Chains A and B, each alone.
Chain A
Amino acid sequence: MVDALTGMETERQGSVIPKQSPWQIQRAVVFGVFIREIQNRFGRYTLGYLWAPLEPLVYLVVLCAIRGALSGALIAGLPPAIFFASGLLPFILFRMIPITSLSCVESNMGLFNYQRVKPADIFVARFILECLIILSVAVCLFPLLGLIGNQFELNDPLRFFGVYALFLMFIAGLGLMFTVLGPLWVEAKKVMPLVFRPFFFISGIFFALSSLPPAVRPLLTWNPVLHALELMRFYAFKGYVLASEVSLSFLTACALISFASGLAVYRLFHIKIVTSGTIK
């Protein structure tokens, strides 16, 4: 069997441990790296895992406090706390995953000492970890918000998960591209956080598109994250007022383009980013 990528013959039968299929190998590596990433994120702190919800909670409290001071009314048909939380949690994925992907290669150089570990494994492990963190925060947070008096009713969970999957696909594509970009362009670590910051204000975290005047909406609708957040809210909660500009097909197109480009870029550069002597 010749490895098509490296030209290296990898016919290594009866060697190492039980012979494994590529899928088994990938799973084993991602699992191993995943455990490491958990320890990396939380292992060093007392109360480790309890820090995960800290960031979203701080944002949520601040936003609710500001909003509460202004008015207690519903936002586009949802209680403010529910509205903010449903925008913040997915947005954190969009901000965290691409930015942390920039350092996938650099911060794991030691692991590439093991032939099986490839940059994509580290990306996948981090991606799963971030998704699990946000998912577990969501599972705890929304019932809690419901208990303290924010009434909501689920609308269409199945379609919600469909949109969520598209959103994750969009992010995964960006993440894969950034996994490659990180080692190729060192300054990306400085530039990209600046590029991502404005999205906090234009992605519909603290306003609903339907609450803006129709004239200014086209200024914002180029942003796929806005579409994703709006659609997720609409399918998750009954009574949410969806602006007519929000388009599922636009989000789908963005997700597919992003994911395909991510795979293509990774495929092109995955050897180069771990080869010595090509990049500093």
Chain B
Amino acid sequence: MIQLQNLTKSFQVKEGRHYVFRDVNLIFPEGVNIGILGPNGGGKSTFMRLLGGIDYPDYGRIRSNKSFSWPLGLKGGFVGHMTGRENCRMICNIYGIPREEIRKKLDAIHALSGIGKYFQEPVKYYSSGMGGRLGFALSMAFDFDYFLIDEVTSVGDANFKKIAKEALEEKALRSHVIMVTHSMGDLRRFCDIAVLLKDGQLTVYQDLEAGVKAYQDANAARGQKK
């Protein structure tokens, strides 16, 4: 169960306080893959960080008895001057994986990421697609209840999307995704329900297509205002 109670999060900006969420109360349905839609700067990534437990709300809280991966985003998460392999080893260490198992996991991560010899190169030389693939492969080495995917799939090529889909389906018995995306194709590929994030509120659409429509309507309305 994921329950939001009076969740409020704001940022201090020059023109005062910008509220990303204001007193959001919501219970997410169980056992489904959730797609999060919303305009740029609408707080999608902030929401992922709150879920991942690496950022904190002004007040209110997120209650859950599930485990969440770290937000798989395009930036951060890796140390630039360390190689992909060293980074993965460090994160396995941080998550307390025993030595013997780390070696096996590293091989699995290497294979799933499909970045080949770049695994042994410093991460700062990676393209954003390669970084995203490695981050995804790394998180797949753990059994989280929810994988928080923040636009990583959008940089992947078709081949990677296929691999990602297969990897997630393999874990589907216990794991689900909460993903942020601007691609309706990815949304239909990975998600069962949609959540629209707009004007500091979250709306759950049990029917994916209804969510897509609401999102497109909201976009159209924004377009007309300008």
Does the CB pair B95–A16 fall under 8 Å? Answer: yes
Q: Which of A16, A33, A113 makes the CB contact (< 8 A) with B142?
A: A16
Does the CB pair A39–B82 fall under 8 Å? Answer: yes
Does the CB pair B65–A11 fall under 8 Å? Answer: yes
Known: A12-B66, A113-B70, A278-B12. A28 touches B143 (CB 8 A): no
Does the CB pair B144–A15 fall under 8 Å? Answer: yes
B61 at the binding interface (Cβ < 8 Å) = yes
Residue of B10, B63, B73, B90 with most partner-chain A CB within 10 A: B90
Task: Give bound CA distance, A112 to B52, whole Å.
Answer: 11
Q: Mark B60-71, 1 if CB is under 8 A from A, else 0.
A: 011111111011
Known: A12-B65, A274-B54. A110 touches B82 (CB 8 A): no
| Interface band, chain A | 35 or more
Does the CB pair A36–B82 fall under 8 Å? Answer: yes
Does the CB pair B96–A276 fall under 8 Å? Answer: no
Does the CB pair A39–B86 fall under 8 Å? Answer: yes
A31 proximity list for chain B (CB < 8 A)? 93
Stretch at the interface among A18-26, A196-204, A248-256: A18-26
Does the CB pair B70–A114 fall under 8 Å? Answer: yes
Known: A114-B70, A278-B12. A13 touches B94 (CB 8 A): no
B positions within 8 Å CB-CB of A: 9-12, 46, 49, 52-56, 61-68, 70-71, 73, 76-79, 81-82, 86, 89-91, 93-97, 142-145
A positions within 8 Å CB-CB of B: 6-13, 15-18, 20, 24-25, 28-29, 31-33, 35-36, 39-40, 43-44, 109-117, 271, 274-278
Interchain residue pairs with CB less than 8 A apart (19): A6-B56, A8-B53, A9-B65, A13-B65, A16-B95, A28-B93, A29-B94, A32-B93, A32-B94, A35-B89, A36-B79, A111-B79, A112-B54, A115-B52, A115-B68, A274-B54, A274-B56, A275-B56, A277-B11
| Top 9 A-B pairs, shortest CB-CB distance | A15-B67, A32-B93, A28-B96, A277-B11, A32-B94, A115-B53, A7-B61, A12-B67, A113-B77
